Amino acid sequence: MAVDDLGAELPPVDRSGPDLVYMVMADFIAGQIEHGRRAPASRLPSELDMANMWGVARMTVRRAIQELAEERGLVQTIHGKGTFVTSPSRWGNQKSNG
């Protein structure tokens, strides 16, 4: 059983299934944020740590973080510092495509 940095059991990742791995990751982390398991301003584990926890490539982690940041507004990445949970007022604020 794989667990995250908070001790929560990670959902299984079926690479041959219909769900994209990065979306499974993004949905899991989003659920933690939305249910208060990850507080605003708290730092997510590093990309490498998450890749090791989930048994996936770093690019998969990056795509999950991109989904959480750009599409859902749940996290913000600060270069050289890490990825942090945003305040609830930003949740759902999506990046404009034009």
Listed as ranges, residues in the chain with pLDDT below 70 are 1, 92-98
Domains and CATH numbers, the chain: 40-90 (1.10.10.10)
Q: Is 91 exposed, middle or buried (0-12, 13-18, 19+ CB in 10 A)?
A: middle
Give the global pTM. 0.85
